[in-house]
Structure 1
Amino acid sequence: MPHSYYDFFAGGGMAGFGLGSDWQCLFANDIDAKKAASYRVNHGGGKELLLKDVAQVTADEIPGTADLVWASFPCQDLSLAGKGAGLAGKRSGMFKPFWQLVCDLTDEGRGPKMVAVENVYGAITSNGGRDFHTLAASFADLGYRFGAVVVDAVHFLPQSRPRFFIIGIRGDLRLPESCLQAAPSPVWHPPALVEGHNLLSAEAKERWVWWNLPVPASRESTLAELIEEDPKGVTWHSKAETAYLLSLMTDLNRKKVEAAKQLGTRKVGTVYRRTRPDADGVKRQRAEVRFDDIAGCLRTPSGGSSRQTIMVVEGRSVRSRLLSPREAMALMGLPESFILPERYNDAYKLAGDGVAVPVVRHLAQGIFEPVLKRNRLALVA
């Protein structure tokens, strides 16, 4: 019998790809019609998906009882690029109606065995740590044993994408020893998270656990091997466009390009345009390049500066173009069979808002599935 889950803020259903075929989605929810269309076409029609504002969803619209509730709630008000509204913001504030549904299900005797909430790293420190305190208190007040980890997709994919996960297990369930450790790990528990834990209430600390995850093997995939020579949805820039991009670079970044030329081999880098103050304090658009075989974090396309550019250097030749939709999906760990939205911006937004597939699989293997196995064995015993 497959494990069951609900997928809130489901987007294209990337969490489901990460959980895998041993998991069955009983209910999914999103408010974005374009994302819902992608979910349905990539999840066998997606009859389980309810296209509706989560604040308008009621518990009686949610069937059965789930082993896991997954929620990648909006990050805009919690991210470093946001305006600091935090959980009081219009978008990230959607955590509150989502959590009310978890409370309602619990009141009906349908409380999920596990709840996993995903967001940006900034969720730990936003509003001076008060938002993290609110998230922790939500789990503690419902009687969940819970803890948090920060997992960077770079362990599995050539993309720098650190994400915060807070994972709770219902209080009546047993926790496998393999999932726990006595103290924080530098791999999964950075100083900001340790400090956040130190500031929690006594009640929250009482229910806190330090999750233990296996350290993954060294990543084998590289950025260069994901880059298409003949991409669909984008075209290579003209020489003038590439020259303009180079003109936006500081001396430091131009030196990186020159160093790549000296190698005489194919070198793939990524470029983001950012607004930076110059020596006189005047803000100017700058192009910043990296050649460490890791893409920058995919973001939603709220303007040209947020779209990632590919730069390919081969000897004296320098070419550039936008990251293609298929490349963006590959950087999220989705299979080539994933059906892309037709419009570039829709595809890029879907990727930028998503959760990296192998990260979800790692959490499933390290925590979700061992917890379910431990408690099924307990029932048999």
Structure 2
Amino acid sequence: MNNFYEFFAGGGMVRAGLGADWRCVFANDFDNKKSKTYIKNWGSNELKTADIKTLQSKHIPGQADLAWASFPCQDLSLAGAGAGLKGDRSGTFWPFWELMLSLISEDRAPKIIVLENVCGTLTSHGGKDFAAICSTFRRAGYRFGALEIDAALFLPHSRPRLFMIGVQNDAYMPANLTEGEPSPQWHPRRLLTAFKKLSKKEKANWVWWCLPTPPLRTARFADIIEDNPSSVAWHNRAETEKLLKMMSSINRKKVEEAKNAKKRMVGAIYKRTRTDENGFKVQRAEVRFDDIAGCLRTPAGGSSRQLILVVDGKSIKSRLISTRETARLMGLDDNYVLPENYNEAYHLTGDGVVVPVVQYLAKHIFGPFLIENEVGRAAA
């Protein structure tokens, strides 16, 4: 069984993705509310609730095969203030890395280190923040590569994220885990642009990770919708009409097309501020009926909460997305215990890592890498 550390653990979605073949030996998050949910689902034995800046290597037991860190995205997000790795939130990457350096100096280096964050990491400060991350891996003795994976490959949820994976330089690298050139599936243009900006040293240390193309997704957004949710109520007619009036002509046309579809249609809605034809900023309700939910975001304000619109012929209903639906969009099963408070549950899921993506990486990169290295040591 492989051991792992889970930093910025939130509700333990990485733990859910790695599954029973992996053993968590240490988890950390600074948020007391998230920690309560973590404990309800996974127990308290491995979890230490504390600011990562206060942690020292003595707090971290043993040695891990994998260290995972989904450090905060606010300063790297395209919607953020642009502080990048110098920001108060995303800058917590540095104390995490100091812990990794301490483990390395104590001969307890994790065999694999994984970082997960928004794709804005690639463009933050003109690519300099991404280059800094690449440099930290190289200087610490890790070969490094990145992939962009959209949750929509596995779930009806549009959520592209960047997965940065480093492995120890002296480890055996199985040939089938890498390729000699980038893959359009996993290395899109913005990643290639960030790569081209790297120094010669970082490029020489780079790994083009290889993943098989997953089977075609069959799950639809409509499949995860609850008819009688417990965490939210359906809007009354006036509330639904108000939402429809907030739509542009293009979006109202989408609703009319859904009414004529001769089947139940479920749309995802976000409220966004747009400039109207007179140059004034107005709040618009924008709907999509492509069987995929918009990317979950933490509910910092009313516009950040996703709504659903259910159209069945002339019948139109609307409401906020339920907390269980947000959990399903992240790949959590219905046995996962969510906070009772709506905003806490939405924040927990919107801040998390998509479970099937973790599963896929574990199956096709982490597991094979560790198995091949164990076989190599046994043969030696």
Alignment counterpart, residue 68 of structure 1, candidates 66, 69, 81? 66
Alignment counterpart, residue 263 of structure 2, candidates 254, 262, 265? 265
SS in 1 for 2:176: helix
| In 2, Cα distance between equivalents of 1:130 and 1:297 | 26
Letter in 2 for 1:18: G
Alignment of 1:124-163 (within 5 A): 124-163=122-161
Alignment counterpart, residue 343 of structure 1, candidates 329, 332, 341? 341
Residue 88 of structure 2 corresponds to 90
* Identical columns (%): 54
- After superposition, give the CA deviation of every residue in 1:178-214 in whole Å (9 maximum; x if it has no partner): 1101100000001111111111111111110100001
Residue 219 of structure 2 corresponds to 221
Residue 112 of structure 1 corresponds to 110
| In 1, Cα distance between equivalents of 2:44 and 2:372 | 31
Q: How big is the shift at 1:280?
A: 2.6
Letter in 1 for 2:96: F
| In 2, Cα distance between equivalents of 1:283 and 1:57 | 45
Question: Is structure 2 residue 25 aligned with structure 1 residue 11?
Answer: no
Residue 183 of structure 1 corresponds to 181
Q: How big is the shift at 1:281?
A: 2.3
- After superposition, give the CA deviation of every residue in 1:88-116 in whole Å (9 maximum; x if it has no partner): 11100000100110011101111110000
Letter in 2 for 1:33: N
| In 2, Cα distance between equivalents of 1:322 and 1:176 | 47
SS in 2 for 1:211: coil
Letter in 2 for 1:265: K
Residue 100 of structure 2 corresponds to 102
Q: How big is the shift at 1:263?
A: 1.2
* TM-score, normalised with respect to structure 1: 0.99
SS in 2 for 1:257: helix
Letter in 1 for 2:270: Y
* TM-score, normalised with respect to structure 2: 0.99
SS in 1 for 2:358: helix
Residue 173 of structure 1 corresponds to 171
| In 2, Cα distance between equivalents of 1:175 and 1:199 | 25
| In 1, Cα distance between equivalents of 2:346 and 2:212 | 31
Q: How big is the shift at 1:42?
A: 0.5
| In 1, Cα distance between equivalents of 2:110 and 2:263 | 53
Task: Tell me the C-alpha RMSD between the 2 structures.
Answer: 0.6
Alignment counterpart, residue 306 of structure 2, candidates 296, 308, 313? 308
Q: Number of matched residues?
A: 379
Alignment of 1:19-58 (within 5 A): 19-43=18-42, 45-58=43-56
SS in 1 for 2:243: helix
Residue 350 of structure 2 corresponds to 352
Name structure 1 gaps, 5 residues minimum: none
| In 1, Cα distance between equivalents of 2:325 and 2:44 | 25
SS in 2 for 1:298: coil
Letter in 2 for 1:16: R
| In 2, Cα distance between equivalents of 1:140 and 1:280 | 53
Alignment counterpart, residue 321 of structure 1, candidates 312, 319, 322? 319
Letter in 2 for 1:300: T
Question: Is structure 2 residue 259 aligned with structure 1 residue 237?
Answer: no
SS in 1 for 2:78: coil
Q: How big is the shift at 1:289?
A: 0.1
Superposed structure 1 runs of 4+ greater than 2 Å apart: none
SS in 2 for 1:70: strand
| In 2, Cα distance between equivalents of 1:125 and 1:364 | 27
Name structure 2 gaps, 5 residues minimum: none
| In 2, Cα distance between equivalents of 1:259 and 1:287 | 17
Alignment counterpart, residue 291 of structure 1, candidates 289, 305, 319? 289
